[in-house]
Amino acid sequence: MPAIGAVTRSTLRQQIADALRDEVLAGRLLPGHEFTVKQIAEQYGVSATPVREALVDLSAQDLLDSDQHRGFRVHRFSVGDFRSMIEARALMVDAVICKLEAERLAASAHGVPLVSVRRRSEEAARAAGAGDLNVLIGYDLRFWRELGFLVANRYVSDFLHRLRVQAWVFSVPFLRDDTEGGKWLWNGYGQLVDALTLGDVAAVRAVLGEYNKHALAWADRLERPQR
């Protein structure tokens, strides 16, 4: 019986953390927004303990900052932070690809539920083309998460997922305020799935290279004075 109680509490803790992360990703909790454990507990109608645990978890993911006297606030990433995320992601992915020859990459791809991955890519591409940020973020994170199965080391996969969440947390407020934000939504999901299916390492590198170049070009735009 105690084990069941532990699972329930753990699940509630995760549900609260997921709900708050989704609020941040949706731009409803903006960088710098402050709140307390008591406020969140009242909002969700739960006790303080799982809320506190959920907020600590999100702080460990660098999505929240903790202040002993004022509670928590949504972390504010800088453009420099965003550039570092892109660089770290590129270095990590490149290191993984270096270990995979074309034959192994193709074999690995066939071990992934590519039907599901391709479906995610189509939905993400459709949302990106329509500029629908609300739909895109969920499909984008699931798309890359499923492709993470290509990485044998789950710690690498988890690290990359964490970077993508942080990158979206940084990006969302800017994209929502930018009338041209939709044009900066990457749309190369299908090409990446095609390259992986064929086991074409050069094509995989090319698509990922364009992906990172696209993100850095957007960072350049953010740093330029807007007229």
Residue 226, helix vs strand vs coil? coil
Residue 105 has pLDDT above 70, yes or no: no
Instruction: Give the total residue count for the chain.
Output: 227
Q: What is the pTM of this model?
A: 0.87
The amino acid present at 92, given as its one-letter code, is M
Final residue before a domain boundary, out of 18, 45, 74: 74
Same domain, 25 and 95: no
> Rounded distance, CA 169 to CA 136, Å?
13
Please say whether the beta carbons of 181 and 175 come within 8 A.
yes
The token duo for 97 is 């690809």
Same domain, 84 and 67: no
Full residue range of the structural domain in which residue 35 is found: 2-74
Q: How confident is the model at residue 7 (pLDDT cuts 50, 70, 90)?
A: very low
Same domain, 133 and 209: yes
